[in-house]
Amino acid sequence: MVIKNIYCVGRNYMQHAKELNNAVPTSPFLFAKPTHALVEGQGQTISMPQDQGDVHYEVEFVVHISEKFEPDMKAEELIDKIAIGIDFTLREVQDELKEKGLPWLLAKGFPNSAVLSQWLPFEGLGASANFDFTLEKNGIEVQRGNIKEMIFDIPTIIEFSAKHFGLDEGDIIYTGTPSGVGKAGKGDRFVLKWKEEKVGELLIGD
């Protein structure tokens, strides 16, 4: 499956914005990752930057767009599958970029920074809101989220993305992370879960 564009929503959960002392946005705040950042978590070992400060994990609900957006199209028409992802972030690099008013690409776009679980059937937004997505680090749950807790819901994110950037078949959207982000380091094992079942796994190596 070919992924075209990777859009990511920042600060889309109230408690996450607060834990990083960020202002809560009044409209969707998006950034992008290159496709070279993508990696599917199939239990393998992946590498992270070792010399650019702390790497933080951020678990997210990810949607896959099945066709070109047209005005008045509903989210249920556009989304054909979902995944649980990790947006890995070079936190100190990001803080420096924010201070300078520069784009976040250096902090967000490195190889292996966009992790995906296996793709899962999309059962509709209402059904998806009945379940939490979670991230475990070394056997301990560190993040738990639910799409009903988003500041900007998925239809709003889709409309905003389509209006400002375009949205077409093969695009994916990381829809934001809940609170509980933290450091990821060598030897850490991460397990992604949906409906309390493991759907992805990886180990941080060199």
- What CATH number is given to the structural domain containing 57? 3.90.850.10
Range list of H helices, 14-153: 14-19, 75-78, 91-100, 105-108, 125-128
Kindly state whether residue 18 falls inside one of the protein's structural domains: yes
Measured CA to CA, the distance from residue 112 to residue 37 in angstroms comes to 5
Report the pLDDT value the prediction gives residue 147, as an integer from 0 to 100.
Answer: 97
User: Parallel, antiparallel, or unpaired for β 172-174 and 6-10?
Assistant: parallel
pTM attached to this predicted model:
0.95
* Secondary structure of residue 191 in the 3-state scheme: strand
Least-confidence region, from 19-28, 51-60, 65-74, 180-189: 19-28
Q: What is the domain extent for residue 48? A: 6-204
Total domains in the chain come to 1
Kindly state whether residue 1 falls inside one of the protein's structural domains: no
Does the pLDDT at position 20 exceed 70? no
- Residues 183-204 pLDDT 10s: 999 999 999 999 999 999 999 9
Does the pLDDT at position 17 exceed 60? no
CA count, 13 A, side-chain hemisphere, 28: 24
- Residues 78-127 pLDDT 10s: 999 999 999 999 999 999 999 999 999 999 999 999 999 999 999 999 99
